[in-house]
Structure 1
Amino acid sequence: MGRLCKLHIQNDFKEFYTPQVTEGGVVCITRCDARHKTPLRCVYGSCSMTRAGPECECSDRAAFWYQDQVCRSRISKVGVAVGVPVAILVLVTIVFAIVLLRSQRQKEEYRNNLRSRSELYDSDDGNWDAPQGFAVGNPAATWEDMETPSTSYINLERVDTSRNIHIRRPTVVR
């Protein structure tokens, strides 16, 4: 039976054909035929005979990349062309959002620290007022057109007159 196929097939393809007994007689088939013992199943393509033997010709090579010889697993070129930039954009957006949130948190902490410090310097005239009514002039905290007192002063409106003040007499140390 093997000679039957070799008689009717061209020399370049003889080795790839095998005889198959059917109801109608004997036929010569290749691995491209589903009746073969080990058929070559081309999932997204068709099988054809070449001088090198049966090969799968994958369909839509312009739209897909195929990872194997039997056109089983394919990757969409359009999907990659759209998906990769979108994935990069999402990643950059997430990183940017994290950096922005961290900087806002640090900025808020910095402002809170400034607020707690600024309570010491409430006065716009460069003098630091104490709650008891005494004030200390700060000549360094002035503007060009602002007058600054050269000495400390007492704000009498805030002085608690009900308190007793005891001042120790100075002692002479020899």
Structure 2
Amino acid sequence: MDTSTISSTTGAPSPAPTATDGPSAAPTTPGDTSTISSTTGAPSPAPNSTEVTSTTAPPTTPPQTTTSAGFPAGESSADPLPIFLPAPPVICENGGTYDGIKCICTASFYGPACEYSTNAIDTNLPYPGTLVADTELVVTVTNFNYTEALKDAQSETYRSFERHFEMEIRKIYGAIRGYEGVKIIGLKPGSIVVDHKVFFTVTGTGNVTGRFEGLMDGLVGRLRETVASQGACQHNRSILCLNVLPNPIVKNMTEAPSLDEICWQRAPRDYRDFYFAVTTGDTIHCVTNCTPNAPTTMDCHHGQCRVTRAGPQCFCDDEALYWYTGSRCSGRVSKLATGLGLVATVLLITCIVLTVLLFRDHQRKYVLSPPQTSSVGTWYEDDGLTWHANDGFIYRNMGADGATG
């Protein structure tokens, strides 16, 4: 026999069951001595009581089923549901990598997307004591075919071949001490005939002519070693498959007229034209117009100078709060002050207009109002027939005589 007591949801005792409501009583389980308290916290009767205080079984909620589309049964799939779209991927430029939070830039770049080049590059080359030398060579690349697009140095085809040539030729020339880089002078048909300059930095003193000859011999020797070891490579696009003349030297090595070539070779691609060499102290530095305290430093006034692919540019501070005049952030106008001034001007003009309208309305009412009659103005009609002046003269009102007959 069940000795548990079921309390009502209100905590108040229920009347004893009758014959009519007995069947609706909650079923009991033999041996169950637990007590179920009400939701209001009222104390339950003692466990040995057999009184049933609720005539209705606690409502039970059937298990909710879902449809194949994932919506609860009985609900429409048209009900609005939150949609979580993935965040757009962050594209890091210039070799930067995204770590899930920000772009990790290489040493030559910075910015939210690594879009800005550094303002200066340290060469660590001594000055005086460093000079730039260049020589001109010609080689034939046999695993690429010349196309019309290679006539345009700004085309993507040309730029792609230029990047590939510079990267692969460095593996050949880079073993020679002082190597800085190459610059393509021209491309011709015949597979692809590449006329290019090779640049070196030469430091120290001594027999410069003899050192130049040694550099040229080293270049030719490296080219011949490459041709001898490459084998059948005409179909391998990952390397430069070369054909070299017995004497590929077109122009002997000479001293370059400027140190700027060092900066052109060491600056990041697409930013090369914005760097130039300056000699500060005893070192050669590559700087831009954004480098502080340089001879041609760009004054951005209320902004920051940054080197972009389009060149050095001024980026103004707090553009959400200020308007700027000119391309160098020279004139700054507060948007808040301008807005408040505009509101004050509108209010002043409104007050002036209302004042003028009120004044004109007052004038119109004054003109249209009828003249006021005064008893003083009719003294000559209503007064007697004769008026005696103080000096003894007598004035007679002829109109008054006619009026009285």
TM-score range, shorter chain: 0.5 to 0.7
Q: How many Å separate the matches in 2 of 1:36 and 1:25?
A: 14
Change (3 A) 1:130 1:101: closer
Shift of residue 67, structure 1, vs aligned partner: 2.1
Q: Following superposition of structure 1 onto structure 2, how do residues 37-48 of structure 1 map, counting pairs within 5 Å?
A: 37-48=295-306
- Indicate the RMSD between aligned Cα atoms, in angstroms: 3.2
Residue 307 of structure 2 corresponds to residue 59 of structure 1: no
**Aligned residue for 2:384?**
159
Q: For this pair of structures, how many residues does the alignment match?
A: 135
Shift of residue 161, structure 1, vs aligned partner: 7.2
Q: Following superposition of structure 1 onto structure 2, how do residues 1-174 of structure 1 map, counting pairs within 5 Å?
A: 1-108=259-366, 114-115=371-372, 118-119=373-374, 130-131=378-379, 134=382, 158-160=383-385
Change (3 A) 1:78 1:159: same
SS, match of residue 89 in structure 1: helix
SS, match of residue 71 in structure 1: coil
Larger-Rg structure:
2
Change (3 A) 1:76 1:161: closer
What runs of 5+ residues in structure 1 fail to find an aligned partner? Answer: 123-128, 135-157, 169-174
Highest RCO, 1 vs 2 (Cα 8 Å, sep ≥ 6): 2
Q: TM-score, normalised by structure 1?
A: 0.64
Change (3 A) 1:82 1:132: closer
Q: How many Å separate the matches in 1 of 2:386 and 2:359?
A: 52
Q: Is the 2:321–2:334 contact (alpha carbons within 8 Å) kept by the matching residues of 1?
A: yes
SS, match of residue 286 in structure 2: strand
What runs of 5+ residues in structure 2 fail to find an aligned partner? Answer: 1-258, 388-393
Shift of residue 109, structure 1, vs aligned partner: 5.2
SS, match of residue 293 in structure 2: coil
Which amino acid in structure 2 is aligned with residue 103 of structure 1? D
Shift of residue 133, structure 1, vs aligned partner: 5.9
Q: TM-score, normalised by structure 2?
A: 0.30
Shift of residue 39, structure 1, vs aligned partner: 2.0
Residue deviations 1:11-31 (CA, integer Å, cap 9, x gap): 111100010011031100000
SS, match of residue 290 in structure 2: coil
Which amino acid in structure 2 is aligned with residue 159 of structure 1? G
Q: How many Å separate the matches in 2 of 1:49 and 1:161?
A: 109
More helix by share: 1
SS, match of residue 374 in structure 2: helix
Which amino acid in structure 2 is aligned with residue 24 of structure 1? D
